[in-house]
């Protein structure tokens, strides 16, 4: 059961041009197009007449024409022309979804349109953010989005899955992640997970900026419906010891990077993963290093998760075994269950 009252990433804004763009989101067929003023429109990709796909239709100015029998729909979904029929009942319409473009992302509200609240759009640092160098990325998964969400909520897997990428091929770098204690806090619509890596080896891609060892503060928020916002800050060795236990640093780090990611369910067995990952400041060369690193690392995740999905599907009766490292996924599951319950009551 997917949360409805939330903004899902439908794609990067740059993915939506002047053509009709069909997308499957949360098992719903949706077609995107832009009006003459460039406004992005999202409508159900199903003509109410004989259920032909509107994505096989034609954009006419601001409107969309079904090319089976010619019904014409306005951006708000209302039918404004029925060939051979003078009156148009108000009930002849398609569902129109609220869409907002912000931070370089096209966000779509999958719940009741009247509930859409733009203050719930997550604080992405998009490709045009002045303080960060970000190259937008996308990866398609043959897996349920829950498995990707659980992967992001528990970064202890970096130790094992990402030895070649984030560890730079050095197991001592990646395996330091497995033993770092985490602090988990419930926040509005999600959880916050923080950890200190004290006097840990720096991966090769960071060492030029940080030196070979450092104290690493890593903090991420995971928010409904599948938004991951992670900041990594590197300090001189000894910094963490000077702070109170687990305290969040308020001093300027030697180096910091940020990644914002969004997982969107397409169907129950396919998902789309949008990400930006880059260093602070205007640094296109280093941004490219981070982008390549993200592709390598997220491919490692994808291969593991798709294989995990196959094992799960081969015997759905098998249950997972919860362990201490599953604290954040468990906490988030509680937040999600509460919201699902609230939505079910209002449905």
Residues lying near Fe ion in the complex (CB under 5 A): 301
Q: Within its chain, how far is the Cα of 323 from the centroid?
A: 25
Q: Name the binder of 68 from Fe ion, ligand FES, none, CB < 5-8 A by kind.
A: ligand FES
From 62-70, 158-166, 274-282, 286-294, span contacting ligand FES (CB under 6 A): 62-70
Q: What residues contact 3, with CB distance under 8 A and at least 6 apart?
A: 111, 224, 225, 336, 339, 340, 343
The residues near 33 (Cβ < 8 Å, ≥ 6 apart) are 16, 19, 20, 21, 40, 41, 59, 64
Size of the site for ligand FES (CB under 6 A): 9
* Partner from Fe ion, ligand FES, none binding residue 47, C-beta < 5-8 Å depending on class: ligand FES
Q: Return the half-sphere exposure (C-beta side, CA atoms, 13 A cut-off) of residue 145.
A: 25
Name which of residues 70 to 109 contact ligand FES (CB under 6 A). 70-71
Distance CA 314, CA 292 (A): 33
221 binds, among ligand FES, Fe ion, none (CB under 5 to 8 A by kind): none
From the list Fe ion, ligand FES, none, pick the one residue 69 interacts with, judged by a Cβ distance below 5 to 8 Å according to partner type.
Answer: ligand FES
What span, in angstroms and rounded, lies between the C-alpha atoms of 272 and 277?
Answer: 16
- Of 9, 20, 41, 47, the residue at the interface with ligand FES (CB under 6 A) is 47
Interface residue with ligand FES among 17, 19, 69, 296 (CB under 6 A) is: 69
Tokens of 43: 């409508």
Nearer to ligand FES, 48 or 265 (CB): 48
Position 160 contacts ligand FES (CB under 6 A): no
Considering the complex, what minimum distance in angstroms separates the CB of residue 54 from ligand FES? 8
CA–CA separation, 215 vs 199, rounded Å? 5
Q: Is the peptide bond before 225 cis (omega within 30 degrees of 0)?
A: yes
Helix H segments across the chain?
145-153, 158-161, 171-175, 204-210, 239-242, 284-314, 327-346
Q: What six digits make up the tokens of 297? A: 């690392």
In the complex, the smallest distance separating the C-beta of residue 305 from Fe ion, rounded to whole angstroms, is 9
Q: How far is the CB of 53 from ligand FES (least distance, A)?
A: 9
| Site for ligand FES contains 29 (CB under 6 A) | no
Residue (45 or 301) nearer to Fe ion, CB: 301
Residue of 24, 52, 254, 333 interacting with ligand FES (CB under 6 A): 52
Contact 262, 131 (CB under 8 A): no
Residue 177 per-residue DSSP state: G
Query: Does residue 66 bind ligand FES (CB under 6 A)?
Result: yes
Sites for ligand FES among residues 259-288 (CB under 6 A): none
The reply to whether 50 sits near ligand FES by the rule CB under 6 A is yes
Minimum CB–partner distance for residue 158 and Fe ion (Å): 6
Q: How far is the CB of 252 from Fe ion (least distance, A)?
A: 28
Place of tokens 């991966």: 203
Instruction: State the binding partner of 301 from ligand FES, Fe ion, none, CB within 5 to 8 A by kind.
Output: Fe ion
Instruction: Assign 3-state DSSP to the chain and report helix, strand, coil percentages, each to 5.
Output: 30, 35, 35
Q: Which residues bind ligand FES (CB under 6 A)?
A: 47, 49-50, 52, 66, 68-71
């Amino acid at each position: 059961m997917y949360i409805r009252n939330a903004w899902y990433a439908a794609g990067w804004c740059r993915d939506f041009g002047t053509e009709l763009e069909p997308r499957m989101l949360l098992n719903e067929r949706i077609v995107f197009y832009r009006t003459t003023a460039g406004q992005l429109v999202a409508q159900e990709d199903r003509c109410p007449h004989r259920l032909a796909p509107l994505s096989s239709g034609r954009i006419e100015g601001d409107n969309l024409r079904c090319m089976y029998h010619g019904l014409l729909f306005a951006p708000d979904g209302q039918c404004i022309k029925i060939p051979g029929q003078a009156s148009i009942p108000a009930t002849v319409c398609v569902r129109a979804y609220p869409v907002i473009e912000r931070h370089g992302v096209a966000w779509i509200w999958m719940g009741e349109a009247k509930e859409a609240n733009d203050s719930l759009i997550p604080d992405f640092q998009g490709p045009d953010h002045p303080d960060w160098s970000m190259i937008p990325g996308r990866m398609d998964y043959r897996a349920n989005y829950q498995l990707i969400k659980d992967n992001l909520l528990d970064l202890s897997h970096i130790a094992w899955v990402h030895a070649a990428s984030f560890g730079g091929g050095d197991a001592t770098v990646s395996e330091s992640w497995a033993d770092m204690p985490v602090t988990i806090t419930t926040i509005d619509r999600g959880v916050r997970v923080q950890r200190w890596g004290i006097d840990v080896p720096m991966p090769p891609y960071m060492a030029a900026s940080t030196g070979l060892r450092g104290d690493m503060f890593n903090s991420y928020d995971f928010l409904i419906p599948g938004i991951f916002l992670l900041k990594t800050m590197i300090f001189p060795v000894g910094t963490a010891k000077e702070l109170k236990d687990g305290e969040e640093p308020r001093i300027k780090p030697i180096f910091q990077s940020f990644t914002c990611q969004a997982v969107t369910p397409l169907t129950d067995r396919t998902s789309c993963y949008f990400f930006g990952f880059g260093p602070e400041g205007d640094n296109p060369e280093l941004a490219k290093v981070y982008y390549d690193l993200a592709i390598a690392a997220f491919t490692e995740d994808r291969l593991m998760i798709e294989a995990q999905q196959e094992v799960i599907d081969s015997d759905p009766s098998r249950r997972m075994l919860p362990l201490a490292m599953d604290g954040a996924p468990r906490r988030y599951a509680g937040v999600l269950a509460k919201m699902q319950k609230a939505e079910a009551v209002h449905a």
